[in-house]
Amino acid sequence: MIINNFVRINALMIKGYIFSGLFSLLMLISMSSFAQTAQDEKNFQQCKACHNIDGAKLIGPNLKGISEKRDEAWLIKFIQNSQEMIQNGDELAVQVYNENNKIPMPSQNFTDEEVRGLLLYIEGGGVLPESEAVAQAAVDTEEQQANKLNVAADAELLLVKMKRDGMRNMSYVFIIMVILIVVSLFDLAVFHIVKARWIHYIIVLTAIVVISEIIFVDATSLGRQQYYQPDQPVWFSHKVHAGQNQIDCRYCHFTVDRSMSAGIPPVETCLNCHNQVKEGPITGTKEIEKIYASIENNKPIEWVKVYNLPDHVYFNHAQHVNVGKLDCAQCHGEVKEMDEIIQIPDLSMGWCIECHRTEDVQFATNKFYDQYKELHQKLKDGEISNVTVQNIGGDECAKCHY
């Protein structure tokens, strides 16, 4: 314990958060009470949606005194991946799981050291010692930086929406052009309000050019729906869930790593949390009630699909996310910032191919690629420096077309 604290404190000093002289003095006075750091407080944000340290039980049990109740090694394993323990039949884990209505706790990507920090933070009742105020200030600037990133993501989304509105405006332009032609021709033939004929010709010609352009763009996009953002039956916000409450994408889209489809969660998944969370900050009880109605009437929520590929195209999530180690955001944009999902890429063939030409496969670490002996040799000889998806045949027609 003491050695651990020492390491943690030293790390802080290196970061320059705290004046070292003052700090060594404090260290001498008391080792343990200065263990939890601002970083731990930040990490605990990921637990807050489901756990109180004091007060009412939320989705998961109250964590007060948990370190006395349970063994440290057990807690570390449980917090990192409780479902694995439950599946392996750890008796205590199964018992805790059953006592909590079998609500799975999402696995958390923390190192042992980070979990120890979290446990110390929980032991301390969820308050930081005063000396940490300095460190907190440093974290705050980190947060400001994160906010800056958010602002950038927001700006990007705004741009996307402007483009979408631009596309909607195209249909108004189309109608206006048709009206211009009709009015102009009528005037030419019947009313003779504008005397000069060349004005009519220019108007009609321009309108025809614009109309052809719109038809051309429309035809080449072949019913694609970039920036598609349909209304959904429940106002479900990814910003509230994946953003503010930091719920892992895989908690809801739980097939994404092992199957072709990412899947939309069944309403039972919503109930895991919403049998406790009955009110939201934006829509109050109005939207959450639809979850209960769906369960009562035994009628699934009919979500409108946003991303649609034509039937002749084969696309596999596991291949991209699990094997290829791509991030959801590379294809779906900053979902964490979206109240409502909007389709970011145009899902054209060019979009797939473009990435396959530039993106590397996990060549060194994936045993499957051992069969590409020639490419391995070329890498070794320095003839090539990387292996893209295209190099392994990612632009062959049959790979993507049935």
Residues 51 to 80: which contact ligand HEC by CB under 6 A? 51, 59-61, 63, 66, 70, 75, 78-79
Name the residue nearer to ligand HEC (CB basis): 193 or 397: 397
Residues near 393 by beta carbon (within 8 Å), at least 6 away in sequence: 399
Listed in sequence order, the DSSP H helices in 30-131 are 38-48, 66-69, 72-87, 91-99, 112-123
Estimate to the nearest angstrom the gap between the alpha carbon of 129 and the chain centroid. 33
Name the residue nearer to ligand HEC (CB basis): 106 or 129: 106
Least Å from the CB of residue 59 to ligand HEC: 5
Structural contact between residues 346 and 377, judged by C-beta atoms closer than 8 angstroms = no
**What 3-state class would DSSP assign to 313?**
strand
- For 150, the token pair is 């958010």
CA angle 81, 242, 73 (to 5 degrees): 20
Rounded Cα distance between 395 and 106, Å, is 37
Single residue of 9, 35, 207, 262 touching ligand HEC by CB under 6 A: 262
Q: How many CA atoms lie within 13 A of 354 on its CB side?
A: 9
Least Å from the CB of residue 390 to ligand HEC: 9
Does residue 288 touch ligand HEC according to CB under 6 A? yes
Dihedral (C-alpha) 108, 111, 113, 119: value to the nearest 10 degrees? 10
Does residue 150 touch ligand HEC according to CB under 6 A? no
Numbers of helices and strands, H then E, in the chain? 18, 0
Does residue 280 touch ligand HEC according to CB under 6 A? yes
Name the residue nearer to ligand HEC (CB basis): 35 or 355: 355
Least Å from the CB of residue 142 to ligand HEC: 19
**What 3-state class would DSSP assign to 382?**
coil
CA angle 109, 343, 155 (to 5 degrees): 75
Least Å from the CB of residue 388 to ligand HEC: 8
**Which of 33-41, 183-191, 210-218, 332-340 is the region at the interface with ligand HEC (rule: CB under 6 A)?**
332-340
Touching ligand HEC, residues 165-224 (CB under 6 A): 222, 224
**Which of 135-143, 165-173, 210-218, 283-291 is the region at the interface with ligand HEC (rule: CB under 6 A)?**
283-291
Name the residue nearer to ligand HEC (CB basis): 187 or 289: 289
**Which of 102-110, 152-160, 163-171, 371-379 is the region at the interface with ligand HEC (rule: CB under 6 A)?**
102-110
Nearest residue to ligand HEC by CB is 280
Does residue 344 touch ligand HEC according to CB under 6 A? no
Continuous segment of H or E residues that includes residue 75: helix 72-87
Does residue 273 touch ligand HEC according to CB under 6 A? yes
Name the residue nearer to ligand HEC (CB basis): 173 or 323: 323
**Which of 20-28, 151-159, 261-269, 378-386 is the region at the interface with ligand HEC (rule: CB under 6 A)?**
261-269
- For 248, the token pair is 């892992």
Least Å from the CB of residue 125 to ligand HEC: 14
Q: Residue holding tokens 């930081």? A: 128
**What 3-state class would DSSP assign to 31?**
coil
Does residue 97 touch ligand HEC according to CB under 6 A? yes
Does residue 124 touch ligand HEC according to CB under 6 A? no
Structural contact between residues 341 and 161, judged by C-beta atoms closer than 8 angstroms = no
Single residue of 96, 160, 181, 342 touching ligand HEC by CB under 6 A: 96
Estimate to the nearest angstrom the gap between the alpha carbon of 79 and the chain centroid. 21
With contacts defined by CB under 6 A, how many residues of the chain interact with ligand HEC?
A: 105
Structural contact between residues 11 and 20, judged by C-beta atoms closer than 8 angstroms = no
Within a 10 A sphere around the Cβ of 41, how many other Cβ atoms?
A: 20
Least Å from the CB of residue 220 to ligand HEC: 8
Does residue 117 touch ligand HEC according to CB under 6 A? no
Name the residue nearer to ligand HEC (CB basis): 165 or 396: 396
Least Å from the CB of residue 319 to ligand HEC: 5
Continuous segment of H or E residues that includes residue 7: helix 2-14
Least Å from the CB of residue 38 to ligand HEC: 16
Convert residues 348-377 into a mask of x (bound to ligand HEC by CB under 6 A) and - (unbound).
Answer: xx-xxx-xx--x-xx---------------
Handedness of CA 240, 246, 250, 252 (dihedral sign): negative
- For 179, the token pair is 């009206």
